[in-house]
């Protein structure tokens, strides 16, 4: 899991304390602003929030599939476009949605102003396509908020230290929202989405999956990292690092969604909160790696230099001075990973590798696991009872993940969700 | 005709003299970059220019009808959107085309970098939707040019002194191109378009219209001001003020188009160079205006404060202390004009007004007119022979315009084009 280092400018200097106490950051995803009608509905929701006495900063994604359309356009011109130009292209999308949302707010007599990532002071490093926020200089937002204006900020984008436009990569708008909430010390960050919260499993697979009312940052991190698509991993890390309370809720209904915040763990924690899965990864196994200090470091440094998202890494003890190391990467990074391994193989002699696309991962996540050592045993028993063979195992203090054959994933998730008592009535 | 005040920063400080001598600014309109295939063709043209030893700054418009699509989207949300947000919205278009063009150039191994109006240093006033360029700070372009990079700049847009994104209004990309050519003291500004140059009349109406090889700035100004759509009026003013040689030519053919530059007028100037027309205006007549000093000033100040594009103004001598004043405005500014007149009418007592949409204007333009006093008489005779009634007349030293009924316009243009000997063989 990548570690993010963030410094956030001290906005106390700018923002009035009374405004801050009532400040909420709201993020609306692409589906929520997919049509002019939906944009109007979002504007109504914001207007209602303002009417309740809140100051509001809104973060918007690009409309519906518009980012995909831009990617298709680029693809017709170049198979390997320069990152700087790709970012210039993709940031057109939020520009459109935020301007339209401001117009809709003006129609409701709500004063609003749009801000690009750059104008909102989202300063990033220079990694085009997957830039990291290094600082938030929210001075212009503070000024607008003090004039009782709703600030509508383009998600997913920033400006680098060398004054180029950057994008934050997948889930970037969530990250923008949480980063602004942190920088402005907002009372909450609301993530509006097309589902009503975070579920105990993917409802498309487990029809008895239930909405979770509360999650700790750590649980949400594990859920996001292992397949829960509702909130981007980086946004959760950001929220945890700065203690931002996050509320994941539906754009289409006023009901309470899932709150993610710091909570004392206690005896009543459910042992397992959620069963997640992910079938978008590929498994690599490096064979006959010399079991010497520094070998793994060399390989994973080379992979990391290419900014590959290495996920589960498993190494077993060696028997004959050689060992096998397995790891997973997103399927769309398979080609780049192979390129690195082919290169690295030169230097480590006899080493070979295998890749397997027919894999999926199942994870069980729960803060209560810490004090319940039987969770892993239960998991393995349940999978065995379903005749599911386990290829890799990896654990954290509140998560157990296994890699299995892709076709076994759904069956495993359903069985585990039931076995851990998560099925709704 | 509006006067533009421009200061251009002194780029001599930055740009190497050898680069400047070979520098051309090329502008490609929306049709030229309307599809990925056309973008690739434009890239080929730029690459060929680079291969001939030139440094190149490219100004692009938004792809095809994309700006209209954005306007439609806005229209679904608000009938009166805030100018700031409209500009934020519309500037998304060039972002897309310039990023794609850079990608296409990279595919041809031509180093290229895209620049928004703001990044290119196009500083404007704060009039959203029709901002005026007040300064060009082309430092970043100079740096890129010195690294042998092609600079691809978003046309039509800039950044205001209050750091908001602005657009330059109709024909804005032409203006961007000429302003950059002026600031960088480029050897020429090439305007690529879907016609092969400036014609002696609209070829859709006059099938014997011919391409003009050379025009003076003044002629081009009059042609642009009276209906020649090929080059924006403001761009021509800019070019004249800074002595930028402009070459209007076809995107689809290498043939020479029309050069617009400073030329000594001489005896061989054709008396009339072009016959233009415009049916997009409405005529207003203010009736019974008190013929006293300051009355006209008051009315036209009020109209000007609303940024209405008043065009022909005609006032005749008064007979009884009252006079009539007529003027034309673009048809889409009719409602705003009426609002001003209704308001102003309060203060000027008995005054009323009429508006007439069924009008069109025909103009004849030519540098040779100065020394040929018979041009007007010929024009009126030709129109009379066609039974066309003249409603208004206005002249400059190199142009005569008349307002006639809309249905008489085409017939008048064809007859005049022939009468002045402009028909091609």
CATH number, domain of B415, equals 3.30.2130.10
Residues B273 and B328 in one domain: yes
Residues A146 and A284 in one domain: no
Does ipTM top 0.85? no
- pLDDT confidence band for A256 (50 / 70 / 90): very high
pTM of the predicted model as reported, rounded to 2 decimal places: 0.82
Phi/psi for B312 (5° steps) reads -60, 130
Residues B136 and B246 in one domain: yes
Q: Which of A260, A286, A311 finishes a domain?
A: A260
Task: Tell me how far apart the alpha carbons of residues B226 and B247 are, in angstroms, rounded to a whole number.
Answer: 20
Task: Tell me how far apart the alpha carbons of residues A328 and A227 are, in angstroms, rounded to a whole number.
Answer: 13
B162 in contact with chain A, both atoms CB, cutoff 8 A = no
β-pair type (B112-115, B150-154): parallel
Task: Tell me how far apart the alpha carbons of residues B354 and B289 are, in angstroms, rounded to a whole number.
Answer: 13
C-beta atoms of B84 and A40 within 8 A: no
Residues in chain A: 425
Q: % helix / strand / coil in chain A, to the nearest 5?
A: 35, 25, 40
Span between the terminal Cα atoms of chain A, in Å: 35
Does the pLDDT of residue B107 top 50, yes or no? Answer: yes
Which element (helix H / strand E) includes A404?
Answer: strand A399-405
Task: Tell me how far apart the alpha carbons of residues A135 and A127 are, in angstroms, rounded to a whole number.
Answer: 15
Q: What is the mean pLDDT of chain A?
A: 88
In a domain, A373, yes or no: yes
Residues B230 and B346 in one domain: no
In a domain, A60, yes or no: yes
C-beta atoms of B40 and A70 within 8 A: no
Residues 85-144 (A) with a CB less than 8 A from some CB of B: 85-86, 88-89, 91-93, 95-96, 98-100, 102-104, 106-107, 113-114, 116, 119, 140
Q: What is the mean pLDDT of residues A341-347?
A: 66
Residues A248 and A370 in one domain: no
Does the pLDDT of residue B420 top 80, yes or no? Answer: yes
Does the pLDDT of residue A61 top 50, yes or no? Answer: yes
3-state secondary structure of A318: coil
Task: Tell me how far apart the alpha carbons of residues B149 and B56 are, in angstroms, rounded to a whole number.
Answer: 8
Which element (helix H / strand E) includes A199?
Answer: none
Which element (helix H / strand E) includes A208?
Answer: none
- Per-residue tokens: B206: 């006059």
Residues B134 and B44 in one domain: yes
- Among B36-45, B127-136, B344-353, the range scoring the smallest mean pLDDT is B344-353
In a domain, A212, yes or no: yes
Task: Tell me how far apart the alpha carbons of residues B85 and A154 are, in angstroms, rounded to a whole number.
Answer: 13
Please give the pLDDT value at position B89. Answer: 96
What is the tens place of the pLDDT at every residue in B382-418?
Answer: 999 999 999 888 888 888 999 999 999 999 999 999 9
In a domain, A44, yes or no: yes
Residues B309 and B216 in one domain: no
C-beta atoms of B106 and A82 within 8 A: yes
DSSP, res B379: H
Which element (helix H / strand E) includes B296?
Answer: helix B295-305
What is the tens place of the pLDDT at every residue in B187-212?
Answer: 999 999 988 999 999 999 999 999 99
Residues B348 and B244 in one domain: no
- pLDDT confidence band for A5 (50 / 70 / 90): very low
Does the pLDDT of residue B91 top 90, yes or no? Answer: yes
What domain range is B412 assigned to?
264-419
B78 in contact with chain A, both atoms CB, cutoff 8 A = yes
Q: Cα B424 from chain centroid?
A: 26
Burial class (CB in 10 A: 0-12, 13-18, 19+), B71: middle
Provide the domain count of chain B: 2
The alpha carbon torsion through A340, A344, A345, A347 (nearest 10 deg) reads 170
* CATH number reported for the structural domain that contains residue A179 in this entry: 3.40.1160.10
Task: Tell me how far apart the alpha carbons of residues B208 and B227 are, in angstroms, rounded to a whole number.
Answer: 18
In a domain, A12, yes or no: no
d(CA B100, nearest CA chain A) in Å? 6
Which element (helix H / strand E) includes B299?
Answer: helix B295-305
Nearest residue to A4 (alpha-carbon basis) of A285, A277, A199, A221 = A221
**Cβ atoms of residues A314 and A326 within 8 Å:** yes
Please give the pLDDT value at position B271. Answer: 82
Taking every pair of Cα atoms in chain B, the longest distance, rounded to a whole number of angstroms, is 75
Please give the pLDDT value at position A349. Answer: 55
Task: Tell me how far apart the alpha carbons of residues A346 and B85 are, in angstroms, rounded to a whole number.
Answer: 56
In a domain, B3, yes or no: no
Q: What is the mean pLDDT of residues B270-292?
A: 87
Please give the pLDDT value at position A320. Answer: 76
Does the pLDDT of residue A265 top 60, yes or no? Answer: no
3-state secondary structure of B153: strand
Residues B231 and B352 in one domain: no
Q: Which of B225, B242, B260 finishes a domain?
A: B260
B175 in contact with chain A, both atoms CB, cutoff 8 A = no
The b-or-e profile of A40-70 (16+ CB within 10 A means b, else e) is: bbbbebbbebbeeebbbbbbbbbbbebbeeb
Phi/psi for A40 (5° steps) reads -65, -40
3-state secondary structure of B397: coil
Does the pLDDT of residue B12 top 70, yes or no? Answer: no
**Contacting residues of B for A114, CB less than 8 Å apart:** 84-85, 88
In a domain, A143, yes or no: yes
Q: Which of B216, B233, B260 finishes a domain?
A: B260
Residues B236 and B321 in one domain: no
Q: Nearest CB to A92: which of B81, B95, B140?
A: B95
**Contacting residues of B for A116, CB less than 8 Å apart:** 88, 165
Q: Which residues, 6+ apart, have CB-to-CB distance to B38 below 8 Å? A: B31, B32, B251
Given phi > 0 = left and psi -120 to 50 = alpha, else beta, which region is B152?
Answer: beta
Taking every pair of Cα atoms in chain A, the longest distance, rounded to a whole number of angstroms, is 75
C-beta atoms of A89 and B77 within 8 A: no
Instruction: Give the DSSP letter string of A160-192.
Output: ETTS-EEE--TTHHHHHHHHHHHHHT-SEEEEE
DSSP, res B390: P
In a domain, B6, yes or no: no
- pLDDT confidence band for A350 (50 / 70 / 90): low
Residue A110 or B225, more confident: A110
Residues B196 and B305 in one domain: no
* Nearest residue in chain A measured CA to CA from B69: A96
What is the tens place of the pLDDT at every residue in B320-371?
Answer: 777 788 889 989 889 888 888 887 554 555 567 888 999 999 999 988 787 7
Burial class (CB in 10 A: 0-12, 13-18, 19+), B205: middle
DSSP, res A63: S
- pLDDT confidence band for A345 (50 / 70 / 90): low
Q: What is the mean pLDDT of residues B11-28?
A: 82
Which element (helix H / strand E) includes B309?
Answer: none
Please give the pLDDT value at position B268. Answer: 60
d(CA A53, nearest CA chain B) in Å? 24
Residues A148 and A125 in one domain: yes
């Amino acid at each position: 899991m990548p570690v993010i280092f963030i410094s956030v400018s001290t906005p106390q200097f700018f923002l009035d304390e009374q405004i801050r106490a009532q400040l909420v950051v709201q993020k609306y995803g692409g589906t929520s602003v997919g049509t002019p009608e939906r944009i109007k509905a979002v504007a109504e929701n914001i207007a209602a929030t303002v009417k309740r006495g809140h100051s509001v900063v809104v973060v918007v994604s690009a409309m519906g599939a518009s980012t995909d359309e831009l990617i298709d356009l680029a693809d017709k011109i170049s198979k390997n476009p320069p990152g700087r130009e790709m970012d210039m292209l993709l940031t057109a999308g939020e520009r459109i949605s935020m301007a339209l949302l401001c117009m809709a707010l003006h129609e409701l007599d709500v004063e609003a102003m749009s801000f690009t990532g750059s104008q909102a002071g989202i300063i990033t490093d220079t990694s085009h396509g997957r830039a990291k926020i290094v600082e938030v200089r929210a001075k212009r937002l503070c000024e607008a908020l003090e004039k009782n204006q709703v600030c509508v900020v383009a998600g997913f984008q920033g400006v680098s230290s060398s004054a180029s436009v950057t994008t934050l990569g997948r889930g970037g708008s969530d990250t923008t929202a949480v980063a602004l909430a942190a920088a402005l010390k907002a009372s909450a960050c609301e993530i509006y989405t097309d589902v009503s919260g975070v579920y105990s499993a993917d409802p498309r697979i487990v029809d008895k999956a239930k909405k979770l009312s509360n999650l700790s940052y750590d649980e949400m991190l594990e859920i996001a990292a292992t397949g829960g698509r509702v909130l981007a991993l980086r946004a959760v890390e950001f929220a945890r690092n700065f203690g931002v309370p996050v509320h994941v809720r539906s754009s289409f209904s006023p009901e309470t969604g899932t709150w993610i915040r710091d909570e004392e763990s206690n005896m009543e924690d459910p042992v397992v909160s959620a069963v997640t899965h992910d079938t978008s990864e590929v498994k690599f196994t490096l064979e006959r790696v010399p079991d010497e200090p520094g070998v793994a470091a060399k390989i994973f440094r080379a992979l990391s230099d290419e900014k590959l998202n290495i996920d589960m890494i498993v190494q077993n003890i060696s028997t004959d001075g050689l060992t096998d190391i397995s790891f997973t990467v997103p399927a769309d990074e398979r080609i780049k990973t192979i390129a690195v391994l082919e290169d690295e193989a030169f230097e480590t002699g006899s080493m070979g590798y295998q890749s397997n696309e027919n894999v999926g991962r199942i994870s069980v996540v729960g803060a209560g696991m810490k004090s319940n050592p039987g969770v892993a045993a239960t998991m393995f028993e349940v999978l065995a009872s379903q005749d599911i063979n386990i290829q890799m195992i990896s654990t954290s203090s509140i998560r157990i993940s296994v890699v299995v054959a892709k076709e076994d994933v759904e069956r495993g998730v359903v069985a585990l969700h039931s076995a851990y008592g998560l099925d709704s009535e």
